[in-house]
Amino acid sequence: MTTLRPDAGTAGVTRSAAGTRGETGGRPTVVGTPARRREDDRLLRGRGRFVADLRLPGQAQAVFVRSTEPHALLRAVDVSAARGDRRAVAVLSAADFPGGPPLLPSASGPVPGLPTAQPALATDRVRYVGEPVAVVVAADRYAAEDLADLVRVDYAPLPVVADLDAALRPGAPTLHPRAADQPGGPPGTPARGDDGAARDDSAGRGSAPGWGDNVEQVVRAVRGDVTAALAAAPLTFSVRLSIARQAGAPMETRGVVADWDRAAGRLTVWTPTQIPHGMRDAVAAALGLPADAVRVVLPDVGGAFGTKMQPYPEEFVVAWLSRLLGRPVGWVEDRAEHTVATVHGRDQHHDVEVGHDASGRILAIRDRMASDIGAYSFTNAAVEAIATPAAVPGLYRVPAYAAESLAVFTNKTPAGPFRGVGAAPATFVMERIVDLVAAQVGVDPAEVRLRNLIGPDELPYGPRTTLHLTQGSMPWPPHDSGDYPGLLRRALDLVGYRDLRREQAQRRASDPAGPLFGVGLGMFVEPSGDGKPELARLRVDEYGVVEVAAGLAPSGQGHETMLAQIVADELRIPLDDVVVRLGDTDRLRWGAGTMASRSAAVGGGAVRLAARALVERAVPVAARLLGVPASAVALTEHGFGRTDGTGAALDWASVAQAAGPTTGTGELAAEAEFRPAGIPFGYGVHVSVVEVDPGTGVVTALRHRAFDDCGTVLNPMMLAGQVHGGIGFAIGNALFEELPYTDDGFPLAGAAGYPLPTVSSMPADVWVAHAQAPAPPAAGRGGGDVKGAGEGGVIGGTAAIANAVADALAHRPGPPPARTPARTPAGTGAGGTLAFPSLPGIVGPEAVTRIPLTPPEVLRLLRAQPSPATGVPAAYPANTPDRRHAPNPGLSRG
């Protein structure tokens, strides 16, 4: 454990300006300093170029006709009136694609070639409101929307599967029935002849039920013998924890401009994506083109957060249209479309059984979870279902653990990743479990954490969990390094945790009718990257300017600045001599992209390696120019010189000019791949302080503290910005973000309706600090000891806020109000196809078990009768076998 660096406001950042972090050879390093962003100037002047800003000569605009039904057979798609309009450039439905519209990839599906993949335009059946059915093209968006109004779609509604419980109920209607089960003939995917063989195959899903149900796949995570451990645990309880359907909701919606160059036989696609190379390959496949016939170029991207991490139907169709029409075609999603056409996330139930002892040590957890993945095996639809199960135990020991995770189809917009995918719901579940255990045994939640955290001497921890996917099993990567209890202790000290508890007691005593004051903790690990490699390429031009290309695709994080800082230090050149150009697939052979908190840890590593390779390329050239052996050449802050310090200095420009013949490439350039040997785990703790209005259930977040360890800090200003943004997500995710649907499958969110936080939703007092405990320089880490930090804010923050609300409610004074009907206990509810034999010790209806904690939800909790044990710290009776399953008479009631 090293020092925490409080970053209290920008003043603090400014004070730690260049030079404070260490110097090499007299030159201050820029890594570790709050270098101002090179992206900002153009963005502040309105000169950013986003996809909606592109207007190529002759560019037409597309608008999609979308399903207004959640589930229906398509009787007819009549485009004749639209085609007859003189303003129509083109109007297409699925019938206009020879061989059918391209299918979306199903990268997260259980097996390749799924019949549950989505066609880019609906063929004979629609499965969610918002599904693209037809496309119209006109000179501008106004006219195109007029034409879209003219397309007539005749729907024959089918029974709707509106949520997890409905989808899993025995006899539920199925979204993707087997041909034999299909009412009125075979399922309508005539375009997918090649996939026909897969249709009657259920083997792909392991032991899961056949295609006759709504389960796309089942994922399991196993650590130890959970059945035995639960049976042996002195105390147990069970609870259902849920997270609503939520979304990444970037300020910029999606969009694409495609330009087919008929002469060159080549397509250029401008689109805000996190995966330029992946998009290139997907579009090429969809159009039947070789990959090098497609170039993807990244414009400025107005936020992505995972929503732009996969191809969508619109990119395929717009690219197709451009080739068909021989002119540029653009499409920009509007906000009303965005809420139904861009992936959703979360939307999980967890039926959890917990075994622990009287001191609060957690001995076993079984989690039967289900994730609503929406209507199709969309590209990454099951990613939350796959990424959650193994992540639940987090940074706690939990000797025995088992999870079964169902990816479930419903008639909703397909799911996909957004910030904190898997980790955020897993952490909410685990952190609630820890607090429930604390309440059961009457020990402070901070102390219970200390009793369960993996100790520094136990790291690296694992691999202990095995993840079983349909096509194989893999160990969950081990946690690499850190000091979890040390960070928690420091954080508790810095926030004055004891003082907060004192303040809470005082408030309760002095103003029993006033706002309820709560303090919550949220601890998390943040896996940095998904193990995928990344590529970087550096080139020096004849003026000595270093151009950096990498597979990363920024969407506001500041990669242009961060990568330049790394390169400037490695090459010992001024920041201004580095130019970062990302997101052009013609500049780099391949790239993975920006996701999973990997850009600094993995992308930065690749750039660092490429910089070192560049030096290796340059040294022989410099040696030749200096007339000394390569071993006598040193890299200096002026370029190159002799190691003995004598003689002339050579600048980078001179070396670059002389490099051609030597390197054989005609330029001084180097490329490097970084293949991470493992996954670095950032970690941290968030402390949230909230007030709950007992009369209305409104939660006000008062203070928020974040402490994390993400290894070496590259740019403290930008790092704090990432954490702040994550806390913003956490406020929304924990308190009000939700995409509600009616019971019959219609989205309720209005045109501008997804409820994002505003400035006054935020705690007035936000404070972020970083422990720089450098990750051990493990092999293959690219010489960096950087861990990711883009997601920790939402992962830890959401749990901390939820726990703070729970804490406030648990500390409510006075007699409870009139009893309201108890919430259905876990696993026994109507439609409880997830039902399992619940252990006694049902958590009471007043416990926080679902986010977001909207005023109605909190009011419901306030009006529920608390269990007598809640908030009453009391020594628990000795573990006697006969009481094993009834730890607390109050808690086992109902």
Partner 1 sequence: MKPAPFDYRSPATLDDVVTALAEQPGARVLAGGQSLLPALARRALRPPLLVDLRAVPGLDRIDRTSQATLFIGARVTQRQIERDHALAGECPLLAETIRRVGHPQTRTRGTLVGGLAHADPAAELPALLVALDGVVHARGPRGDRRIGADAFYLGPGRTALAPDEVAVAVEIPSATTTPSPAVPTGTPGDAGGGTDDTGDLAVGGACVEVAPRATVALCGALATVARRADGTVAAARIALFGVAARPVRARRAERAVLDGGPLDPALIALLTREDLDAARAADAELPDGEGGTNGASGTNGAAGAGADGGDYCREVAGELVHRAIDRALVAAR
Partner 2 sequence: MSEHPVEVTVNGTRHRLDVPARLSLADLLREHLGLTGTHLGCEQGRCGSCTVLLSGEPVRGCLVLAVQADGAEVTTVEGVAADGTLDRVQSALREHHGLQCGFCTPGIVLTLRHLLDLPAPPGRDDLVAALDGHLCRCTGYVNILRAAESLIGPAPSERS
326 forms part of the interface with partner 1 (CB under 8 A): no
Min dist. Cβ of residue 333 to partner 2 (A) = 11
DSSP secondary structure, 377-438, as one string: --TTTTHHHHHSGGGTTTTB--SEEEEEEEEEE-SSPPB---SSTTHHHHHHHHHHHHHHHH
Residues 560 and 294: their CA atoms lie apart, in Å, by 24
696 forms part of the interface with partner 1 (CB under 8 A): yes
Sheet (strand 578-580) strand order: 578-580, 546-550, 534-540, 668-674
SS3 content of the chain, % helix, strand, coil (to 5): 30, 25, 45
46 forms part of the interface with partner 2 (CB under 8 A): yes
Which partner in partner 1, partner 2, none is near 885 (CB below 5 to 8 A by kind)? none
Which token pair is 363? 């001995």
Contact status, residue 283 vs residue 323, Cβ threshold 8 Å: no
Site string for partner 2, 308-347 (x = CB under 8 A): --------------------------xx------------
Question: Strands 235-247, 255-261: parallel, antiparallel or unpaired by DSSP?
Answer: unpaired
- 506 Cβ contact list (under 8 Å, min separation 6): none
b (16+ CB within 10 A) / e for 111-145: eeebbbbbbbbbbbbbbbbbbbbbbbbbeebebbe
697 forms part of the interface with partner 1 (CB under 8 A): yes
142 forms part of the interface with partner 1 (CB under 8 A): yes
Whichever of 93 and 307 has its CB closer to partner 2, that residue is 307
The size of the interface with partner 2 (CB under 8 A), counted in residues, is 66
101 alpha-carbon distance from chain centroid:
29
DSSP 842: B
142 forms part of the interface with partner 2 (CB under 8 A): yes
45 forms part of the interface with partner 2 (CB under 8 A): yes
391 forms part of the interface with partner 2 (CB under 8 A): no
Which partner in partner 1, partner 2, none is near 698 (CB below 5 to 8 A by kind)? partner 1
Question: Strands 633-636, 639-642: parallel, antiparallel or unpaired by DSSP?
Answer: antiparallel
855 forms part of the interface with partner 1 (CB under 8 A): yes
149 forms part of the interface with partner 1 (CB under 8 A): yes
The size of the interface with partner 1 (CB under 8 A), counted in residues, is 35
Tell me how crowded residue 874 is: count the other CB atoms within 10 A of its CB. Answer: 10
Q: Letter for the amino acid at 394?
A: G
Residue selected from 758, 777, 780, 856 as contacting partner 2 according to rule CB under 8 A? 758
Site string for partner 1, 645-684 (x = CB under 8 A): ----------------------------------------
Residue selected from 740, 780, 817, 873 as contacting partner 1 according to rule CB under 8 A? 740
Which token pair is 81? 């009136």
DSSP 237: E
- Collapse the DSSP code of 4 into the 3-class scheme (helix H, G, I; strand E, B; otherwise coil) and give the result: strand
Give residues 517-556 in contact with partner 2 (rule: CB under 8 A).
Answer: 555-556
How many angstroms separate the Cα of 477 from the Cα of each of 291, 678, 739, 761, 825? 33, 7, 33, 36, 34
698 forms part of the interface with partner 1 (CB under 8 A): yes
- Measured at the CA of 516, the angle between CA 512 and CA 520, to 5 degrees, comes to 140
514 forms part of the interface with partner 1 (CB under 8 A): no
- Measured at the CA of 130, the angle between CA 129 and CA 132, to 5 degrees, comes to 125
Which partner in partner 1, partner 2, none is near 145 (CB below 5 to 8 A by kind)? partner 1
854 forms part of the interface with partner 1 (CB under 8 A): yes
Min dist. Cβ of residue 251 to partner 2 (A) = 4
Sign of CA dihedral 894, 518, 684, 34: positive
Min dist. Cβ of residue 741 to partner 1 (A) = 10
Whichever of 346 and 449 has its CB closer to partner 1, that residue is 346
E-state strands within 228-323: 235-247, 255-261, 266-270, 294-297
752 forms part of the interface with partner 1 (CB under 8 A): yes
Residue selected from 41, 194, 576, 616 as contacting partner 2 according to rule CB under 8 A? 41
729 forms part of the interface with partner 1 (CB under 8 A): no
Which token pair is 509? 């005593």
Min dist. Cβ of residue 566 to partner 2 (A) = 19
DSSP 601: I
E strand or H helix at 344: strand 344-356
64 forms part of the interface with partner 1 (CB under 8 A): no
Task: Specify the residue for token string 């799911």.
Answer: 415
Which partner in partner 2, partner 1, none is near 45 (CB below 5 to 8 A by kind)? partner 2
Min dist. Cβ of residue 588 to partner 2 (A) = 22
Contact status, residue 328 vs residue 58, Cβ threshold 8 Å: yes
The stretch among 445-453, 562-570, 726-734, 837-845 that binds partner 2 (CB under 8 A) is 726-734
The stretch among 48-56, 399-407, 670-678, 697-705 that binds partner 1 (CB under 8 A) is 697-705
Min dist. Cβ of residue 120 to partner 1 (A) = 22
CA within 13 Å, CB half, 700: 11
Which partner in partner 1, partner 2, none is near 640 (CB below 5 to 8 A by kind)? none
The stretch among 167-175, 775-783, 796-804, 853-861 that binds partner 1 (CB under 8 A) is 853-861
759 forms part of the interface with partner 2 (CB under 8 A): yes
Residues 620 and 626: their CA atoms lie apart, in Å, by 10
85 forms part of the interface with partner 1 (CB under 8 A): no
Which partner in partner 2, partner 1, none is near 725 (CB below 5 to 8 A by kind)? partner 2
Please provide the size of the chain in residues.
894
The stretch among 44-52, 130-138, 496-504, 754-762 that binds partner 1 (CB under 8 A) is 754-762
Contact status, residue 360 vs residue 441, Cβ threshold 8 Å: yes
Which partner in partner 1, partner 2, none is near 146 (CB below 5 to 8 A by kind)? partner 1
53 forms part of the interface with partner 2 (CB under 8 A): yes
43 forms part of the interface with partner 2 (CB under 8 A): yes
How many angstroms separate the Cα of 575 from the Cα of each of 28, 464, 562? 12, 43, 10
Residues 836 and 826: their CA atoms lie apart, in Å, by 9
753 forms part of the interface with partner 1 (CB under 8 A): yes
Residues 221 and 461: their CA atoms lie apart, in Å, by 16
Residues 595 and 306: their CA atoms lie apart, in Å, by 7
How many angstroms separate the Cα of 888 from the Cα of each of 310, 361, 429, 812, 893? 48, 17, 22, 20, 9
Q: Letter for the amino acid at 128?
A: Y
Min dist. Cβ of residue 751 to partner 1 (A) = 5
Residue selected from 136, 453, 454, 749 as contacting partner 1 according to rule CB under 8 A? 749
Phi and psi (nearest 5°) for 589?
A: -65, -45
Min dist. Cβ of residue 145 to partner 1 (A) = 5
Whichever of 512 and 753 has its CB closer to partner 1, that residue is 753
Whichever of 23 and 149 has its CB closer to partner 1, that residue is 149
Sign of CA dihedral 586, 592, 596, 600: negative
Site string for partner 2, 247-266 (x = CB under 8 A): -xxxxxx-------------
Give residues 293-322 in contact with partner 1 (rule: CB under 8 A).
Answer: none
Whichever of 111 and 698 has its CB closer to partner 1, that residue is 698
Which token pair is 835? 């039902």
751 forms part of the interface with partner 1 (CB under 8 A): yes
334 forms part of the interface with partner 1 (CB under 8 A): yes
Min dist. Cβ of residue 809 to partner 1 (A) = 16
Q: By CB under 8 A, name the binding residues for partner 2.
A: 8-11, 13-14, 34, 36-37, 39-50, 52-53, 140, 142, 248-253, 300-303, 305, 334-335, 555-558, 717-718, 720-721, 724-729, 731, 750-752, 756-760, 762, 765-767, 793
Q: By CB under 8 A, name the binding residues for partner 1.
A: 141-142, 145-146, 149, 334-336, 695-699, 735-736, 738-740, 748-753, 755-761, 854-856, 859
